[in-house]
Amino acid sequence: MIVWCRTSFLALGLSLLTAAAAQAQTQHIPDFAEVRAAHASSVARLVDRHGEPLAERQLRFDDDRLDWVGLDALSPAMLEALLQAEDRRFYQHEGIDWRAVAAAAVQNLWFEHARGASTLTMQLAGLLDPALQPAAVGQRRRSFEQKWDQALAAQALEARWSKAQILEAYLNLAPFRGRLRGISAAAWALTGKAPAALDRPEAAVLAALLRGPGATPALLARRACTLVAQIGSPAACERVQAIAAAVDPAVLSPRWQLAPHLAARLLRSPGTTVATLIDAGWQRRMLGALRAAAPARAAVVVLDNASGAVLADVGGLSPEHADATGFAYPAPAMRWPLQVARALDRRVVTAASLLNADSEAAPRWTSVRAAAMAGEGAALAALSRRQAEGETLPLATGPVDLVRLAGLMRMLAVDGQWREPFWQPAAARPAEAVVSPAAAFVARDLFPPLMAEMVTPGRAAWATGSNAAVTIAVWMETGPTALIEVRAWLADQLAGDGTWPAEQVVPAGVVRRPVRFDPPVEPARDEWFLAGTAVAVASPPQVTAQIAWPAPRSIIDLRAAAPGQGVLLRATADDARLRWRMDGREVGSGGAVWVHPAPGVRVIELLDGRGERLDRVSVAVRGG
């Protein structure tokens, strides 16, 4: 009876073959290139300036797919296991394996457990056409009509695609477990390997999953052990069981996690690869150095001095940490070099000018250089009170984040030109002149080579500095010793390539001249000056005062004033030696004067008795 059934089904198959071949010609089959092009990864990838992967991020959650894998990138073990498990006569049939059909019919007639006869080509046809999938929820098997259409589609596929294309497409589209689709995602999620690196036990487990993606680990292990025995490696069963026991949870984790925080900022579309100017070597070095220092939390940014491009961007020690490159703090001390550079450019002070370091008591005179090196906050704050006037940079006032802090230091270390830090070539912006190269040079020479500041009392600090090639800004949370630790860590990184401290290159417009102090509050020395500002003797100013009114960038409307009434200029001190200038022309003296300005933008200056400028503001005048 069994022989009769097999013979009958073979005869039936042969009788249907001619009709099926004719109908197959009418099937709509997409081109292989079309199917491959339509495949979209559910993740996006971030790469460095050389194309090395930095991070990837899941952006679509209906299924888990990675990039399409060519047949030549699959391990021989995977192809061997696939054909043994799913379609041993794949290279002999033309889409339908009639011997398997007959055997399945006998099995289904006489035995309790049903058996299918789908070839790899038929399974691929079902993956390409949703209409060939079981229609009802929970239905595991296709209807007879679906099976017939699937067989026709398989023959059409065999007529138009090569065997290699069928194998490649099947392995890239097949479901493995949970949301995992395609051999690339399944291999990484379940073995932590690329498809090319799969060995026999791993390939056997993956091939067994194709028959039952939802099989229990025990059932999966039995099937995979049978498979490795069939392909000549029965001793691999023990390892197969270990792999099968660990298949859950079947989660697709990122393959690269070198820059996860930057990936979260830049990656937006699944299936895309975003190129950056990050250097993977710098990124790896900074991440390793931070982890070796073992702070509670940390972040670092490295900028290329020549271009301002970001070479490393470590937002945290692990992907779970908040992106600390975006933490912003007021950080007044970090702005002192910029404010001193602006004061130098405006000829308000020189490096040798004497400042009052104790305004609450009797004057205690200190030079700008000594105040900068010692961090004399009162003296530098008084000097820089109005230096941000007219400043348009985001770092002039308000909180500053780690990226812009690095940009500020890079600007002063290089040429005084502000370049917005950028991660991608298309994001580069034109440079903006903020201070002259001469003022930037002198200002950086005045301050310590590393600038550091406590930003969260008793908890976190940050520091920034430059060597000949790069500028680094780092934030660390370590507790009360954070200021010491962040400074020491940064010094080690800047000195790592032997270019720190950077060799001084004196720009045009800077001269070095001897200067002495009267009274001798500091020893005589050679000092850097902007050309035309050198003094042989530095003495305290005759008068210490600032402009009390008008305030910087005020708008003064004279149309509402009484006839003949002007604008009162008032100083913080009432001293007859004070002199006032408007637009370069002297307009009065003393602690307060009335002026009658013409409409427009007016520049008001306050000078001491020797003609040295004490303060400067600009205002807008209407009417008059």
More confident residue, 452 or 381: 452
Q: What is the pLDDT of residues 237-246, one digit of tens each?
A: 999 999 999 9
Average pLDDT over residues 47-76: 95
Average pLDDT over residues 537-558: 85
CATH number of the domain where residue 609 is located: 2.60.40.10
Please count the residues of the chain: 624
Portion of the chain with pLDDT greater than 90, in percent: 63
Average pLDDT over residues 462-491: 96
Average pLDDT over residues 15-19: 47
The dihedral sign for the CA sequence 397, 401, 402, 404: negative
Whether 278 and 449 have beta carbons less than 8 Å apart is answered as: no
In a domain, 23, yes or no: yes
Q: Tell me, yes or no, whether 464 and 560 share the same domain.
A: no
CA dihedral 342, 347, 348, 349 (to 10 degrees): 90
Q: Tell me, yes or no, whether 300 and 439 share the same domain.
A: yes
Q: Choose one of 196, 224, 245: the last residue of a domain.
A: 245
Q: Tell me, yes or no, whether 338 and 392 share the same domain.
A: yes
Q: Tell me, yes or no, whether 313 and 196 share the same domain.
A: no
Instruction: Please report the pLDDT score of residue 17 as a whole number.
Output: 47
Residue 155: Cβ-neighbour burial (10 angstroms; 0-12, 13-18, 19+): buried
More confident residue, 387 or 2: 387
Q: Tell me, yes or no, whether 478 and 577 share the same domain.
A: no
Q: How far apart are CA 564 and CA 558, in angstroms?
A: 10
CATH number of the domain where residue 211 is located: 1.10.3810.10
Instruction: Please report the pLDDT score of residue 615 as a whole number.
Output: 84
Q: Tell me, yes or no, whether 488 and 594 share the same domain.
A: no
More confident residue, 285 or 584: 285
Q: How far apart are CA 602 and CA 597, in angstroms?
A: 8
For helices 163-173 and 183-191, what crossing angle results, to 10°?
Answer: 50
Asked which of 37-41, 263-267, 425-429, 547-551 is least confident by mean pLDDT, the reply is: 425-429
Asked which of 5-19, 248-262, 415-429 is least confident by mean pLDDT, the reply is: 5-19
Structure tokens at 171: 């392995």
Q: Does the pLDDT of residue 71 top 60, yes or no?
A: yes
Helix (H, G, I), strand (E, B) or coil at 264: helix
Q: What is the pLDDT of residues 548-575, one digit of tens each?
A: 899 888 888 888 777 777 888 999 888 8
Total number of domains constituting the chain? 3
Q: Tell me, yes or no, whether 135 and 232 share the same domain.
A: yes
Asked which of 298-312, 316-330, 388-402, 405-419 is least confident by mean pLDDT, the reply is: 388-402
Q: How far apart are CA 421 and CA 335, in angstroms?
A: 17
Which pLDDT band, with edges at 50, 70 and 90, does 7 fall under?
Answer: very low
In a domain, 124, yes or no: yes
CA 8 vs CA 102, 106, 282: distances in Å:
9, 11, 71
Q: Choose one of 478, 494, 510: the last residue of a domain.
A: 494
Q: Does the pLDDT of residue 613 top 90, yes or no?
A: no
Instruction: Please report the pLDDT score of residue 3 as a whole number.
Output: 43
Which pLDDT band, with edges at 50, 70 and 90, does 403 fall under?
Answer: very high
Instruction: Please report the pLDDT score of residue 519 as a whole number.
Output: 92
In a domain, 553, yes or no: yes
Opening angle at CA 415, ends 411 and 416, nearest 5: 55
Q: Which residue, 394, 393, 392, 368, is CA-closest to 381?
A: 368
Opening angle at CA 114, ends 108 and 118, nearest 5: 95
Q: Does the pLDDT of residue 587 top 70, yes or no?
A: yes
In a domain, 406, yes or no: yes
Instruction: Please report the pLDDT score of residue 109 as a whole number.
Output: 41
Residues 6+ apart with CB under 8 A from 218: 244
Q: How far apart are CA 298 and CA 324, in angstroms?
A: 7
Q: Tell me, yes or no, whether 225 and 321 share the same domain.
A: no
Instruction: Please report the pLDDT score of residue 8 as a whole number.
Output: 46
Backbone angles phi, psi at 149, to 5 degrees: -65, -35
Q: Choose one of 476, 494, 512: the last residue of a domain.
A: 494
Residue 185: Cβ-neighbour burial (10 angstroms; 0-12, 13-18, 19+): buried
More confident residue, 260 or 134: 260
Q: On the CB side of 335, how many CA atoms lie within 13 Å of its CA?
A: 24
pTM of this prediction?
0.79
Q: How far apart are CA 173 and CA 120, in angstroms?
A: 12
Structure tokens at 75: 């391990």
Peptide bond into 249 cis (omega under 30): yes
Instruction: Please report the pLDDT score of residue 608 as a whole number.
Output: 83
In a domain, 48, yes or no: no
Q: Tell me, yes or no, whether 97 and 216 share the same domain.
A: yes
Residues 6+ apart with CB under 8 A from 470: 282, 302, 303, 304, 305, 311
Backbone angles phi, psi at 43, to 5 degrees: -120, 160
Residue 12: Cβ-neighbour burial (10 angstroms; 0-12, 13-18, 19+): middle
Q: Tell me, yes or no, whether 182 and 308 share the same domain.
A: no
Structure tokens at 72: 């030549």
Q: Does the pLDDT of residue 101 top 80, yes or no?
A: no
For helices 76-86 and 120-128, what crossing angle results, to 10°?
Answer: 100
Average pLDDT over residues 437-461: 94
Instruction: Please report the pLDDT score of residue 26 as a whole number.
Output: 53
In a domain, 592, yes or no: yes
Average pLDDT over residues 533-549: 86
Q: Tell me, yes or no, whether 317 and 453 share the same domain.
A: yes
In a domain, 526, yes or no: no
Which pLDDT band, with edges at 50, 70 and 90, does 117 fall under?
Answer: low
Instruction: Please report the pLDDT score of residue 145 as a whole number.
Output: 67
Q: How far apart are CA 1 and CA 3, in angstroms?
A: 5
In a domain, 397, yes or no: yes
Per the structure, the complete domain to which residue 570 belongs is given by: 547-622
Q: What is the pLDDT of residues 149-177, one digit of tens each?
A: 788 888 999 999 999 999 999 999 999 99
CATH number of the domain where residue 440 is located: 3.40.710.10
Q: Tell me, yes or no, whether 241 and 291 share the same domain.
A: no
